[in-house]
Chain A
Amino acid sequence: MIGFVARRFATIPLVVLGVVTILFVIFKSVPGDEAAFVAGATATQAEIEAVRVQLGLDQPLIEQYVRHVSGLIVGDFGYSTTFRGNPLPHIINRLPATLALAAAAIGLTILVGIPAGVVAAAYRNRLPDYLISLSVVGLLAIPNFWLGMLLIAWLSVDLGLLPSFGSSGPASLVIPTLALAARLIALVARMTRGVVIEELRKDYVRTARAKGLSKGLALRRHVLRNVMIPTVTVIGLQAGYLLGGSVVVERLCAWPGIGDLLLTAVSVRDYTLVQAIVLIFVVSFLTINIAVEVIYRFVNPRLRYA
């Protein structure tokens, strides 16, 4: 297991190098003089030239690229105009908020999505199933930021139950988590419903029923064990949504994570910061996927020997 994890983590630098290269090409093609931008609107020509030399922008592109990559290896992400220097420490400061939001969303998804799917399957083609399936279709169509706005209007403005923005204690996590998790809950519920219906048809369930187990007991004792696998699959496939969706939800709720920082970086055209945050997202995405594979091996012993 440890060897497997180590091997998977070893691929991260290679992928990151590829992404860095693509981002470098994209952001170097932005029109405009980078040095003049960093120096500011009031800078004289001499000051602009000084900045150009300082940041190495007078060098050929290939040398800038080498410098950029070798900087990244030692943790130097370049000159961010927002922070007047290496943005990495500031990003790391904000990372826990985003991770907390993502973790809360995954937790809520497991807590709500799986039971909803099991209930829908157990009451297949009856009222509870129709209600749950309808909610799934609805939740997949509703934009997360709109759901967040409605929740703010209802829970904080109307009822005054929760803070509408910022991060003052666990209560502030409720609305962003609900907004972010809604889509995942719907996907997990739909997937779980399908899997449970399929499992209920299998021989081992018939055996369990034949030896006298009630349908509910067969479901709890035997079928539920097989439900974790598709849930893990959905969360792995939706890792991109989880991270991307957090950007929008963080901005809506003023949640101080790296998604909110990304949007600030975009609005002030701090491309160093934009690239740095995109890289952090990529590393998080890869880490989630490795974690998913590890959990897979735990919940599905068949894979361990494959």
Chain B
Amino acid sequence: MPEAVLRRRRRSGRRINLFLWLGALLLAAFVVLAVLGERIAPYDPNAQDLFAMLEVPTSAHLLGTDNVGRDILSRIIVGTRFTLSIALASVFFAGIGGIALGSIAGYFGGLTDRIVTGVIDLLLTVPNIVLAIAIASVAGASATGLTIAITASFIPPLARLVRGRVIELMAEDFVAAAITVGMGHTRILLRHILPNAATVIIIELSLNAGQAVLIGSALGFLGLGVQPPAPEWGTMLGASREYLTLAPHLVVAPGIAISLLVLAFNAFGDGLRDVFDPASTT
């Protein structure tokens, strides 16, 4: 029996690392594309070539050209920057907002907790993409508006997660000890509670980043995100809709790019969870 358990552990151990590494590797590749952008793109992403419109993939244009003859490969490469920076920025700000609200509610409890939890519970009843659309309609259709919209839709669930973890940790002896020796609230929160909540938060943020890519590209697709001619992937897909019959190849590349990036974040998050929180997996 112990032999079987060990074998199972070894086997699952290999798979876990595979996920984590696959995700990390893919993410690193996307970061390289985002940083280098124009420097490695074969063409100017916005240069039109009216003699080469809607071309299928050739050796000159590896992924073909769009309706005004722009090179799709170059647009995908340069577009990485938009999608990746919107996803990372919204996850970063949602992280700050969610951690702040969640830890204040969980740590102080009482009335503060009831007010914060009340507002969070209300916002959780609005489907996140609907909330993002409503906020994007107010904040304006741009990369900034999109980031605000996605951030706002991620804060409530994250705050709830952090609050739960903080309340759990408050019951630990080391927190009671810290209170007894007279440490300040800020120090207890920052030094003793949040570091212990970090794993849960990082895993959640990594999975949120995948969601952010999906929501961001959906809003771009709907015309509520980054505006054309910027080569954001969702926006590109929105523009390619009209050419579905004429040039279906336009639809393929941006969709694969989005899926790969989401896959990278998901694999990374799942891998992290398997490594740090094995109890949650079956």
Contacts and interface: CB of A to CB of B under 8 A. Distances in A.
A285 interface: yes
B237 to A, nearest CB: 6
A193 B281 CA distance: 11
B142 to A, nearest CB: 14
Contact of B222 (A144, A248, A274, A281): A248
B244 A143 contact: no
Interface in A240-261: 240-241, 243-245, 247-248, 251-252
Nearest to A17: B122
Given A153-B248, A263-B222, A269-B137, A146 B258 contact: yes
B126 A143 contact: no
Interface in B209-264: 210, 214, 217-218, 221-224, 234, 237, 240-241, 244-245, 248, 251, 254-255, 258-260, 262-263
B133 interface: yes
Contacts of B222: 248, 251, 263
B128 interface: yes
A282 B128 CA distance: 11
A10 interface: no
Contact of A26 (B118, B135, B258, B281): B135
Contacts of A239: 127
B186 interface: no
B244 A152 contact: yes
B259 A143 contact: yes
Given A26-B134, A157-B245, A198-B282, A141 B126 contact: no
Given A143-B217, A244-B129, A278 B223 contact: no
Contacts of B180: none
B221 A140 contact: no
B282 A18 contact: no
Interface in B123-142: 123-131, 133-138
B130 A262 contact: yes
A248 B127 CA distance: 12
Contacts of B263: 137-138, 141
A294 to B, nearest CB: 18
B1 to A, nearest CB: 13
A229 to B, nearest CB: 15
B203 to A, nearest CB: 15
B118 A263 contact: no
Interface residues of A, number: 51
Contact of A153 (B119, B138, B244): B244
Given A140-B266, A145-B221, A241 B127 contact: yes
Nearest to B245: A157
Contacts of A152: 244
B266 A247 contact: no
A190 to B, nearest CB: 9
A19 interface: yes
B118 A247 contact: no
B266 A137 contact: yes
A243 B126 CA distance: 9
Given A141-B262, A157-B245, A251-B222, A150 B127 contact: no
Nearest to B267: A137
A115 interface: no
A29 B138 contact: yes
A150 B130 contact: no
B246 to A, nearest CB: 10
A262 B118 CA distance: 26
A142 interface: yes
A46 interface: no
A141 B135 contact: no
A295 interface: no
Interface in A22-62: 22-23, 26-27, 29-30
B282 A197 contact: yes
Contacts of A243: 127, 130
Given A27-B138, A244-B127, A278-B126, 17 more contacts: A19-B125, A23-B134, A26-B138, A29-B138, A138-B263, A141-B262, A141-B263, A142-B262, A143-B255, A143-B259, A150-B255, A157-B244, A164-B244, A198-B282, A243-B127, A243-B130, A281-B130
19 contacts: A15-B122, A30-B138, A143-B217, A146-B237, A146-B258, A149-B240, A149-B255, A157-B244, A244-B129, A247-B129, A247-B133, A248-B221, A251-B222, A252-B241, A266-B133, A278-B131, A281-B126, A282-B125, A282-B126
Interface of A: 15, 18-19, 22-23, 26-27, 29-30, 137-138, 140-146, 149-150, 152-153, 157, 164, 193-195, 197-198, 239-241, 243-245, 247-248, 251-252, 262-263, 266-267, 269, 271, 274, 278, 281-282, 285-286
